[in-house]
Each structure stands twice: as structure tokens, then as C-alpha cells.
Structure 1
Amino acid sequence: MNFRELVDLFISASVVFIAFSFQYLISFNYKMTTAYLLATITAFVFHELAHRNVARSKGVFAAYKAWYFGLLISLLLSIASRGSIVFVVPGAVEIYMPIYIPSIESSIAVAGPLTNAIISLICIPLTKIHGVSVYASVVGYVNSFLAFFNLLPIPPLDGYKVIRHDITKWVFAMALSIASLIFYWFFE
């Protein structure tokens, strides 16, 4: 990872963390602040690194690039609403394929949401363990929501890139994300 990419990822992750945890930061709720720090790392950072690593494993150039205007809007909205409105648009892994191959694009696109869905499923049994249940619940819910949202088949979201080339892959990933989201909404 080059220095510019590392800086972009760090700044993006910091803004995502602040946006999601702002209400807890200003109320000095360290437990929930820590939970959202873990959620930011597992949901946002792992999501983007999954895209990047799968792309590179397929021989495709990939690098994370922050969208600073989107980050500014995200930060200002969170601060202005005192954390009650969270909408983050941090950036994305940009890929470059000299020869466009749809199956490779769909594999790269599904990697991020699938990583989130798997993390959210791993957190389910952890929500029943005293001492880690709050952290597991926040991490699991944020990951399940991010997986579901990113799998919506709407451009430029990952779901659109997956469904147009491999509907089976999309159905599998969406089913995992919905199953975990249902757990966090109704059973947690």
C-alpha cells in the first residue's frame, strides 16, 4: 500500500468513525465509542481492503481513493445533527482493467459486502457473551447493514456490478446479508 493510499484510507476511516460515533464522543460514552471504532475497522476498512485484495489477486490495478468532498459533507452533517444523521460517502477502491472482464469485476465488487456479511454472522454468537455483547452487537449490525446497503442493485453500488454479471453470486451474498440483518433487527 503506497503512502497516498494509506493516508486516504486513514482519513476516510477517521471521518467514518467520527460520523458514526459523534453522539457517543460528545457524551463521553467510551464503551459505545470503542464499539464504533471496532465497527469502523471491521466494516469500512475490511470492506475496502477486500475489494483491493481481490482485485490485485486477479491482476487488476486497485487502490483506495478518498473522496474529500464527500468526507467533508459526512463530517459536517454529523456535527450539525449532533450525530443523529449519519450519511457517509468516504471514497472507494478504484480499479483499472486494461481488458474489461465482467466476471472479474463482479468478484471484486462482491468481496467487500461478502466480507461484511461474514463478519456480521461471526458476531451473532458473540452477542450472547457477557462483556463483549455490546461490541459484537454494534460490529455485527454495522457490518450487516453495510453489506445489505452495498448489495442494492443500484449504480454505482457493488450490488449493481455483481447482479449484472452474476446473479447467483449476488443472491448468495444478499441472502447472507439479509439473514444477518434480520437477526440484528428482530432477535438481538
Structure 2
Amino acid sequence: MECSKCGREEVLPFRCAYCGDYFCSAHRLPEAHDCRQLHLARNITEIERGGDRASGSVSRPATMLALKSEVILSRLASMGRGSERLHLSAGGAIVAGVVFSIVYPFQEIGPFLLGLVVLSLVASFLAHELAHKLMALRLGYWASFRLNLFGSLISIVSIILPFKFLAPGAVMIFGPITKRNVARIAAVGPLVNIAIAMALLGLLALNRLLGVLDYRLALALYLVGEINALMGLINLIPIGPLDGLKIITTSARNWAFYMAAGAILYAVYLFMPRLAL
């Protein structure tokens, strides 16, 4: 993410508690980035005295009332902008649009199962992001999912394109953190998708032996498993903001193992004869 002051790219930016924007280490303090809400960081008595010196006609009660009103309104607005639930809901809606464009050609499974496939894949996306957050919390860091403007726009545009993009946002981790912990937090997301895909693959293999599932239901499970395998594999690519880059910089061996597992799993789905479901 870029620093809002200088544009410097930061993997773990600092979030200003007053204006809500993100900054690099050099501009993390309100004074360093000319925070538009700097008055909230100053002592109330200091602000009051400054206002009295600047304008003797303003009474003390009026100054304090205006200050308290501004603080309340600013905090309410900040809560609305910074709600993690809002970011997750918007991210889930974007993912729903993208996955619907992927599974829409499989209308033979019927609208009900098609809707369940979309909901299952949105749940898989949320599980991926929440896995990052829970691991970060377990390691003692504060973490929150945030939409990314560029990623959201690319994801939305990909709905009408042949190539699909599923990265409207990411879990941001705040505070000093080691590279090893960055890799541990990054790894759990793709591993959740791989675990879901493996579980569904086992269920499909069992169905091939017993033949208890209807073809349409088996195809719906296949779609959920295949796209989960693809989500895990793509996130392990070591480029840009993807999880793979954070893993490979710490342990190339671990990354190679995860990548091989994801690639083999996706290949099994890709070459599995759908008529044999």
C-alpha cells in the first residue's frame, strides 16, 4: 500500500488514528503528514487557549462546545469509513460478481445450486481472509481487512473479461513484525483454500465409488473445489501483493512445497473427466 503523504510503497503501513489514512514510518505521526485532524491529537486546553489568543471575541463555552461537537462528528464518520464489516461485505459482493461470471455457463445445475456455488465461494474468500486475521491475532498483532481501490477495480472489470481477478482487498497488519511471522500469516490463507479443495476432492472420489450424489450436485461440488484450488494456487504466485511473495522471501522450501501441492491439486481438478462425476 502506498503512503498517502509521499507515495512510498509499504507492505505494513501505519494507520493514523485521527484521519484514518495510511503512511510509511517516516510520516506515521500526525505532525509529519500534516494530518487534517491534527487538532484532535492536541491537548484540549492547548486548543482552547490558542483559540482564545486568536480571537478574543469567542467565549470559552462556545469554543469547547464546537470542539466537542467536531470530535464526536469526526469519530462517527471515521467509524463508518473504517468498519471492517463494511469492507468485508463489499469485498464479498465483488467476489460474488466475479465467481458468478465464472460459473454462469454451468446453468444445467439449476439456479438454486448455482446460487449455492456462488455463496460457497464467497464463504471461501471470507475464510481465506479471516484465516489471515486470526493468525495475526494469535501472534499478537492487530489486523483488519481493508479493500484496495486498484484491486477492487480490477476485480470488477474482470467480471466481463475472460481473465478473472479475485483480490479486492487484503488483511492489513499493523505494528512491528518479523518476516517469519509475515510468512506464517500469509501462508494460512491459500492453505485454507487448498484444504477446502482437497476435502471436496475426497468427497467426489468417494462419490465415484458409491454413486450416491446426483450429477448436478456433484458438478456443483466440483466447481466449488476447482475454484478453491485455483484461488489457492494464484495466491501462491510470488508477485506483487500476493501471499506467495511474502512466503518465498522467508522460506523458498516452504513456498515450493505449498506451490507444488496447489499445482498438483488444481491439475487433478482440471483433468478430471466431468462426465465421471
Task: Indicate the TM-score class for this superposition, using the shorter chain for normalisation.
Answer: 0.7 to 0.9
Distance 1:73 1:162 in 2: 24
Shift of residue 76 of structure 1? 4.2
Structure 1 residues 67 and 187: alpha-carbon distance in aligned structure 2, compared to 1, 3 A threshold: same
**CA-to-aligned-CA distance 1:117-164 (integer Å, 9 cap, x gap):** 111101102223514312221111111111111111113211110011
Superposition TM-score, scaled by structure 1 size: 0.85
Superposition TM-score, scaled by structure 2 size: 0.59
Which stretches in structure 2 are left out of the alignment for 5+ residues? Answer: 1-78
Structure possessing the higher relative contact order (Cα contacts under 8 Å, 6 or more residues apart): 1
**Which of 139, 151, 159 is the equivalent residue of 1:58?**
139
C-alpha contact (below 8 Å) 2:99/2:121 kept by paired residues: no
Shift of residue 58 of structure 1? 0.3
Q: Select between 157-166 and 128-137 the one with higher mean Cα deviation.
A: 128-137
Distance 1:70 1:156 in 2: 10
Distance 1:120 1:97 in 2: 33
| 1:101 is the counterpart of 2:178 | yes
**Superposition pairs of residues 1-188 of structure 1, within 5 angstroms:** 4-22=83-101, 24=104, 29-30=110-111, 31-42=113-124, 44-78=125-159, 81=160, 84-98=162-176, 100-127=177-204, 128=207, 130-131=213-214, 132-188=217-273
Shift of residue 75 of structure 1? 2.6
Distance 2:150 2:237 in 1: 23
| Greater Rg over alpha carbons, structure | 2
C-alpha contact (below 8 Å) 1:36/1:138 kept by paired residues: no
Greater helix percent: which structure?
A: 1
Show structure 1 runs of 4+ deviating over 3 A: none
Shift of residue 59 of structure 1? 0.4
Percentage of matched positions with identical amino acids: 29
Distance 1:84 1:32 in 2: 19
C-alpha contact (below 8 Å) 1:116/1:146 kept by paired residues: yes
Distance 1:72 1:165 in 2: 30
Q: How many residues align?
A: 181
Q: CA RMSD in A?
A: 2.4
